[in-house]
Chains A and B, each alone.
Chain A
Amino acid sequence: MAEKIDRYYQAQIETASGEELREIQSRRLIRAVKSCYENVPFYKKKFDEMGLSPEDIKSIDDISKLPLTEKQDLRDNYPFGLFAVGKEKIVRVHASSGTTGKQTVVGYTKKDIDTWSNGTARALVAVGATNEDYIHISYGYGLFTGGLGLHYGAEKIGAAAIPVSSGNTSRQIQIIQDYGSNILCCTPSYAVYIGETLHRAGISPDSLKLRAGIFGAEPWSENMRLKIEELLGLDAYDIYGLSEIAGPGVSFECRQKNGLHVCEDYFYPEIIDPETLRPLPDGLYGELVFTCIGKEALPLIRYRTRDITALTRKKCECGRTLVRMRKPKGRTDDMLIIRGVNVFPSQVEHVILSCGIEPNYQIIVDRKNSLDTMTVKIEMNDSMFSDSVREIESVELKIKAALMSVLGVSAGVMLVEPRTLPRSEGKAVRVIDNRKD
């Protein structure tokens, strides 16, 4: 472990008092709302329909008066319909993968890039990165925000960004070894993949200079953290973000590993009940909603992220006062409803890891005779294998019982040959839902 003292990238904001933060938030919200009303026809129409005037928003306390924005609204206004500035001010465009429908496109002004980079810079400093570090970035570079997001943050703090991008795992390892990469940034599933590849190549993590890792773009469990830390010999931290809001760095973990500090001076978070759409108090789990109070090009208002989490304003040991969100449990659209029971893939991952099994799994959902079935495919490994069917069956039974007790619904277990489940160098495909409604 490096130095134990917590450092901040922007101490004034990161440790600001509640009052100071609210003052900044109120001022920025008023400005963002005004810009939306004046520059985005979609918002003007929405406000007018609700009989809401920008002048009705006098402070951050008025935020719940504002309308919600959905992903579909971005799609309906594809590609640039919700931009609040002219194209002469746009310096960058990113887009979501579009795996769940049409792409959503995000624009950035020069100042927006700076704002976003402050977020990733804060995240890097929070895990102990300094200007002497080599920051190994294995997130994809391109329309996806992961690569460039961390890259700009790394440059901001004066560290050396290594823009490896994703893929070619043996080259990644070569670079980690030869350049002495200190901080690894990628998806948690790719971190496991790199770790397994190291292990198979007989390379001890102790021989590497990796000290910390920043892993995001997928929800991941506490057990996964332990697994990654063991495989790679580093401290693993979560980072959160979504392209619609900016990209990674919207919130980040500090060394306490106990929730993600939200850059609430730029991105104001709320938790709502996804059914009633009413705001929920701190501590309760619900859908995370963001208002981009610190952005120019795409100042989304109360954007529904679909991520399920809870907020806490309890004091953090690191000294930051920025509100913390819990590690997201999953997404409302990842949530599987199996025979009426809500199941998140992250719960399945938690069970698998707690049974001491590698997190290489895939959930297959089907409907047989109008009954939902869920089967978890798990790769066989040496520790579970035996020459006796009886012994393998007892492992299967143990996993099934653990799934039943955690999920509250029965799930089948299917053991498959090692390294046959698809691995992704970006986001892992964890769920295949074959149900046709």
Chain B
Amino acid sequence: MYINQLSVFLENKKGRLAKITEILAEAGIDIRALSIADTTDYGILRLIVDDPDKAHQTLKANEFTVTITKVIGISVSDVPGAFAHAMRLLEDGDVQIEYAYAFITREPGKAYVILRVNDREKALSLLSKAGVKIIKQEEIFN
């Protein structure tokens, strides 16, 4: 039920994002979503890709510090209040959100949100019990 996200350490240096995306392109990896957390000196690039294992190996071979993080993906209706509902469920269930990022899907009227929480299992159970749709790795690339 979890989605494998790649997390990559990047120094805040010119050309790093170009370099890493070129490496992935050469390996034929398709990027579906990304987000960057940045500090003054470095950033963490988070990527959802079609073949996380291959991407992981490719980046390792190119001397990047990279890990695979298990995150939750949910599908929410692209209308006001839908995402707020999911957030309220987690808040009331005392689940903390480390970070989140969203992207539009090919499914009409839907948006996908990636969530990294402090308690994955609890979050998953709260959300699915309330009828929020949990997305699987393969669904992202449909």
Contacts and interface: CB of A to CB of B under 8 A. Distances in A.
A3 interface: no
A416 B99 CA distance: 23
Contacts of A417: 9-11, 16, 63-65
Contacts of A389: 37, 39, 44
B37 A380 contact: no
Interface in B111-137: 116
Interface in B84-119: 98-99, 116
Instruction: Please indicate which of the listed interface residues B9, B67, B69 has the most CB atoms of chain A within 10 Å of its own CB.
Output: B9
Contacts of A419: 63
A52 interface: no
A414 B11 CA distance: 10
Given A414-B41, A415-B41, A387 B67 contact: yes
A387 B68 CA distance: 9
A390 interface: yes
Contacts of B42: 380, 392, 415-416
A8 B90 CA distance: 72
B65 A385 contact: yes
A294 B42 CA distance: 55
A414 B39 CA distance: 11
Contacts of A386: 7, 67
A382 B7 CA distance: 11
A388 interface: yes
Contacts of B75: none
Contacts of B64: 417-418
A17 interface: no
Interface string B13-26: 00010000000000
B13 to A, nearest CB: 8
B11 A387 contact: no
A419 B9 CA distance: 13
B98 A382 contact: no
B34 to A, nearest CB: 13
A385 B67 contact: yes
B72 to A, nearest CB: 13
A256 interface: no
A381 interface: yes
A387 B44 contact: yes
A387 B65 contact: no
- Count class of interface residues, chain A: 10 to 19
A434 to B, nearest CB: 17
Contact of B98 (A390, A393, A418): A390
A76 to B, nearest CB: 44
A16 B42 CA distance: 59
A64 interface: no
A385 B11 contact: no
A392 B44 CA distance: 10
A204 interface: no
A354 interface: no
A388 B9 contact: no
B116 A387 contact: yes
Contacts of A394: none
A420 interface: yes
Interface in A139-176: none
Contact of A420 (B7, B11, B37, B98): B11
A393 B98 CA distance: 14
Contacts of A387: 5, 7, 44, 46, 67, 69, 116
B116 A418 contact: no
A390 B98 CA distance: 9
A385 B41 contact: no
A418 B65 CA distance: 7
Nearest to B9: A380
Contact of B65 (A380, A388, A393): A380
A416 B11 contact: yes
A388 B69 CA distance: 10
A387 B3 CA distance: 14
Contacts of B99: 388
Nearest to A381: B65
A388 B67 contact: no
Interface string A365-394: 000000000000000111001111110110
Instruction: Please indicate which of the listed interface residues A382, A387, A393, A418 has the most CB atoms of chain B within 10 Å of its own CB.
Output: A387
Interface string A63-101: 000000000000000000000000000000000000000
A392 B65 CA distance: 13
B29 to A, nearest CB: 18
Nearest to B41: A414
Interface of A: 380-382, 385-390, 392-393, 414-420
Given A386-B7, A387-B69, 6 more contacts: A380-B9, A387-B7, A388-B98, A393-B39, A416-B42, A417-B9
17 contacts: A380-B9, A380-B65, A381-B65, A387-B46, A388-B44, A392-B44, A393-B39, A414-B41, A415-B9, A415-B11, A416-B42, A417-B10, A417-B11, A417-B63, A417-B64, A418-B64, A420-B11
